[in-house]
Structure 1
């Protein structure tokens, strides 16, 4: 009996350690090489480019249309503060013409007509 209980406990421990991590709202792995944050049951991926940033939005693992969203970005780099608005760029992508330096703190605010605003924080 001790052997059976020990075996069951070992199997359960092994399953907990090596089981894949699953999110009820989709994967938190970046699909576009950016930084991923989850807020209000949605996944937001911010991708830093040379002179702009792209924001990709997913809900339950599926692309969420950015057409009806309004979003803005604030970049805090040292003592400097920059702000810009995102423009829908097809599908689940929005683009803002703003540069983000290494070490900057970034706040993204996304608003939908049906919901209250969502604020997402990033650090580069």
Structure 2
């Protein structure tokens, strides 16, 4: 190996180690068994089951206050389209009913929090 190759390899190892050491603060892992996407430093976790749909919001890893929030969720499964209003339910936004939640279903949610501009998040259900 040349000196240049060794320096490049060492810098890549240092970068990877740094990313792993700081990985927790930027981890976008599901905490409730759903699908997670990030929009503007906010994590949106969608938990979609046939009888209930839940949306959890985390701001920089901390649960967001959803007491004054609302959301409009659209589920797209093939040619079927279902619009659902989500309302605050404790630490999440939620709706109960009968939902098409098969793997591959596309979901788009528009979230409004306490008068702030709306945010849009997109998901593909697993």
TM-score by length of 1: 0.82
Q: What are the Cα deviations for residues 25-80 of structure 1, in whole angstroms up to 9, with x where unaligned?
A: x4211111111111122110001223111111000111101110011111111111
The structure in which a higher percent of residues are helix is 2
The verdict on how the C-alpha distance between 1:102 and 1:7 changes in structure 2, with shifts beyond 3 A counting, is: closer
- d(CA) in 1 for partners of 2:114 and 2:11? 46
- The residue aligned with 1:11 is 10
Superposition RMSD in Å: 2.3
Does the 8 Å contact 2:70/2:93 carry over to 1? no
Which structure 1 residue ranges, 5 or more long, are not aligned?
none
Q: Runs in 1 of length 4+ with deviation above 3 angstroms?
A: 5-10, 21-24
TM-score by length of 2: 0.81
Deviation, 1:23, is 7.5
- The residue aligned with 1:60 is 60
